[in-house]
Every structure is written in C-alpha cells, then in structure tokens.
Amino acid sequence: MSQHNHPVQSSTSLRDLVCVMAQRYCLLVLILVITAAIGLLSYEFLGLNQALVAGLLFLCIAFWATSLVPAYWPALGLFAFATATQLAPTQVIFAGFQSSTFWLLFSGMVFGAAINHTGINSRATRLLMLILGNSYQGTIVKIALFAMALAFLIPSGVSRIVLIIPIIASLADHFGYDQDSNGRKGMLLAAAFGTFLPAFSILPANAPNMLLSGMTEALYNAPFSYGEYLLLHFPVLGLGKLFMTIGVILWLFPDQAPNQAIQATIEKSAMTKIEIRLLMVLCACFAFWFTDSLHHISAGWIGLIAALLCLLPSLGLTGKNVIDKDIQYGTLLFAAGIIGLSAIIAHSGLGRVLVNYLTEVIPFSPHTPLLNLSLLTFISTCVAIVTNLAGVPAIMTPMAEHLADITGLSKDAVLMTQVLAFSTVFLPYQAPPLITAIALGNLSISAVTKVCLATFVLTSLVLLPLNFIWWYFLGMF
C-alpha cells in the first residue's frame, strides 16, 4: 500500500508546489505592474524624483506585506536603487544605520542572547508562571496587562519590547508551545501589542507622542499636560485598544492551556555570579532609560553601551560566537531599510505634497465638526501609511493652525487627531517596536500583519466613534 501511495503523494506535493509558485509569480507580476502604474501616474503630478520615490514606496511595502521574498531583500534593493539613481544624499539613504532605533534593536538581540546564555530567562519565566496561572486565555490577558504597565515605567517602545519579548519567548518554551504554535504566537503578540498600542495614550511612552508634544511646544508655545493627555486618550485608545487587541489575538490564535508537566521541571536555585553580573548591567541600562528626560541620552546609545559590556569576553555574559550565531542581520537590514525609506520620503517632500493635495480636495466645512475630525484623522492616517508613525507629527503639526482655520475646530482638537492616526497601525513596517518584536520573538510578519489589519478595522469602526463621543463629553468640540 505504502509503495503505491508514494507516487501519488509526490505528484500531489509537486502540484501544490507548482500552484504556489504560479501564485507567487502572478502576485509578483501584479506588484510590478501596479508599481509601474503608480510611477507613471505620479510623474504626471509630482515630477520624476517624487514619482520614483512613490513607486519605490509601494514596491517595498508590497514585498514586505506579501513576504514574497525575505524581508532584507527589498531593503538591500532600496539601498542599491536609491544610491544608483541618487534619489537622496547618501546620508539620507543610509540614515537607518545612524538611527538610535537600529542600535537599540541590535542591543536587544545581544540582551536576548545574554539572558538565554546566563539562564536568567528561566528565573523570570518561573516568576511569571506564578502570576499567569494555567489558563491560555488568562495568560494572554495577564501578559497584555503586564506589558501595558511597562509603558508607564519605560519611555521607549523599542526598549520595552527588548525587555519583555525574550522573557515571554522563554516562558512560551517552558509552557510547551513550539515555534509554530498559536500559543507561542499569541503570547508574543500579547506582549508586543500590549506594550505598544495602549502606550500612544500615555504621553512619554512612545516616540510619536513625544515628537508631537515637543513640536507643539516649540511651534505654538503650548506644552501638553500629562494628566490631560491621559484623560483625553487613555479610557478609549488605551484600555479600549488593549482589550480589543486581546480579543483579536484570542480569536486569531486560539490554543490549549499550557503543559503543566513542563512547568514542573523548573526548580529553584541560587543565583550565579554571572546572572548577578548581567542583572547589574541590565538594571543600570534600565535606570538610564527611565531617566532619559534628565540626561537626554538616546535609548539606542545607552543600549549599545550595555550591549558592549555584555559582549566583553572577560565578563562571560554571552557565548563566544554570539555575533555570528545570535544576531539576525537580515532583520537589522530590514529595520535600516524601513528607516531609510522614511528618510527618503521626508527628503523628497512626498508627505507634504500628499497633505496639501488632500486638504484641497477634501470637503471640510466649519459647520460639521464631527466630519472634520474624521477627515483629519483620515489625512493623518494616509500620512502614517506613506511615511511611518513618527512622520505624522513631523508633517501635520506645522499645519495645525491652517487646518484649524479651514475646519473651524480648535487647534488642540486638530493636533489630537494625529494621536488617533498614529495609534492605528495598518502594517508592521510603520512601527519600529513591531519590527523589533518580529526580530526578537522570531515572529512571522504575516502573524503580526493579521493583528495590525484586524485592530485597524475594529479601531476605525468601533473605537474612533467611541473616542469622538468621549471627546464631545469632555468638550473638545
């Protein structure tokens, strides 16, 4: 029987492979055709340089979203094409390698390797087991709540991801969830999205928040109040988005309760000198992260210094071949490519052209405040997709007074619509913390994309209307 089945199975496998390859080929052709069409249409309105940038933007996003090729391939293609065509100066194209985010991602990989090498991951796992309990649903809820609590303590989204993802990955291993299981994906996604999405409602917790606050103070001499910002956004965009995300993860990635037999294998033991040494390095790093408002040293450079200590052979905090085996250079190139693409877009002025065009064609009316708020949120969302989340305050804040005049809304209301936009992530490439989570947790881009798209749709249909009701109750319009 088995001898007769082999040719059938082989034929079926070959047929499936041919179908997959044909689908990928058709999708690739479709992407190239749409890219060419976008470039030609953009050329009519924007000129050659901005048309090339628009086509490059769509091409990179399409490859990253569909995973037709490894994530680093479009990034390398971006560097090659932009350099060869001189779309921007070299320092702009390769801005990702100079970015604090890039080096924070690198340091996070080193921290993860050190945590695994020293065994601290097992200790943290055991502590969390006592908190999380035995239910998969309860585990997801508690991880998300713990992750959100970190947003009140650590001011950088990437820094929080660097701290929590290696621990949750170790916890998933001890719970018995293998690499491709829904349980592992759900736990890592709860940690990543739990510490990232609600943080947009906490003023110092994410880069776009602080960029908006800093630009508003510089341009309009109107600094934000921590308490007022929290009241305005946390009840709906904070708690609402947290519980919505938990529901989405449990719906998309259901699984069974953790394996109790594996939990029982973790035993108590005294801390070793190497573990204490690593804890001292990490605690010093976190202390500098917590106090960045005092010393103004970027989190990336603090992380890099701590990573250097972890890599110092005499301290023994990492393995001898950590640079060759534990650093995911493909993901680092992916991150550098995304940051470089954003820098190229900013240099080309494509974002401002989009905003100017949209404000001309969109039907604002001083007598329809709710419609105006929705339209402003839509414009900022388009900017976030074309650039990235941090691009929203950079482009929209200088236009706040002009937009307030044509909409009849207060300047504060116009400014706060940006928060509604950059807190709603359409695809992972827009957000460096999600890229970091993909790298450190070895998450598939498709899994993160599913959560992004589901939360984007639910936020647009449910949370934004609720948020407008909350704003009306607070007297924002």
Query: Residue 207 has which token pair?
Result: 């880069």
| Biggest alpha carbon–alpha carbon distance for the chain | 81
Q: Both tokens of residue 379?
A: 């414009």
What is the per-residue DSSP string for 335-385? HHHHHHHHHHHHHHTHHHHHHHHHHHHS---TT-HHHHHHHHHHHHHHHHH
**Is residue 455 within 8 Å of residue 241, measured between CB atoms?**
yes
Classify residue 426 by its DSSP letter.
S
| Closest of 367, 385, 470, 386 to residue 426, by C-alpha | 385
Reported as half-sphere exposure (CB side, CA atoms, 13 A), residue 135 has a value of 6
Torsion of CA 379, 382, 386, 391, to 10 degrees: 50
Handedness of CA 422, 428, 431, 433 (dihedral sign): positive
Beta-carbon contacts of 290 under 8 Å, excluding residues fewer than 6 positions away, are: 153, 154, 155
Cα 77 to Cα 82: distance, rounded to the nearest angstrom: 8
| DSSP string for residues in 313-339 | GGGT-S-TTHHHHT--HHHHHHHHHHH
What pLDDT shows up at residue 264? 44
CA 219 distance to own-chain centroid: 28
Instruction: Report the pLDDT value the prediction gives residue 45, as an integer from 0 to 100.
Output: 62
pTM of the model: 0.71
CB atoms within 10 A of CB 152: 12
59, two tokens: 């091409």
Q: How many residues does the chain have?
A: 477
Per-residue model confidence (pLDDT) at position 34: 60
Q: Which of 133, 190, 166 is nearest to 451 (CA)?
A: 190
* Spatial distance between the Cα atoms of 154 and 71, rounded to a whole number of angstroms: 29
With beta carbons less than 8 A apart as the criterion, state whether 332 and 106 touch: yes
Rg (CA), the chain: 23
Residues 6+ apart with CB under 8 A from 137: 250
Q: How many other CB atoms are there within 10 angstroms of residue 36's CB atom? A: 12
Give 138's contacts (C-beta < 8 A, 6+ positions apart): 132
CA angle 206, 208, 210 (to 5 degrees): 70
The alpha-helical segments, DSSP class H, found in 175-272 are 182-196, 207-220, 226-233, 241-252, 260-263
What is residue 133's predicted lDDT score, i.e. its pLDDT? 66
What is the predicted pLDDT for the residue at 213? Answer: 81
How far is it, in rounded angstroms, from Cα 385 to Cα 394?
14
75, containing H or E segment: helix 72-85
pLDDT by residue for the chain (477 residues), tens only, comes to: 444 455 544 455 555 545 555 555 555 555 555 655 555 555 556 677 777 887 787 777 777 766 677 878 888 998 998 998 888 899 889 988 887 767 877 887 788 788 778 877 677 666 776 776 678 888 899 899 989 988 887 767 887 888 889 888 888 887 888 888 898 999 999 999 999 999 999 877 887 887 788 778 767 877 777 788 889 999 999 999 999 999 999 999 998 887 654 444 445 566 788 888 988 998 898 788 777 667 778 777 888 899 999 999 888 888 888 888 878 788 788 778 877 887 787 788 776 777 777 777 787 887 888 999 999 999 889 888 877 787 788 778 878 888 888 888 898 999 999 999 999 998 887 888 888 888 888 888 889 999 999 999 999 999 999 999 999 999 887
Q: Which two tokens stand for residue 245?
A: 């995300």
Specify the pLDDT at position 261: 45
Q: Which tokens in the block code for residue 360? A: 């001309």
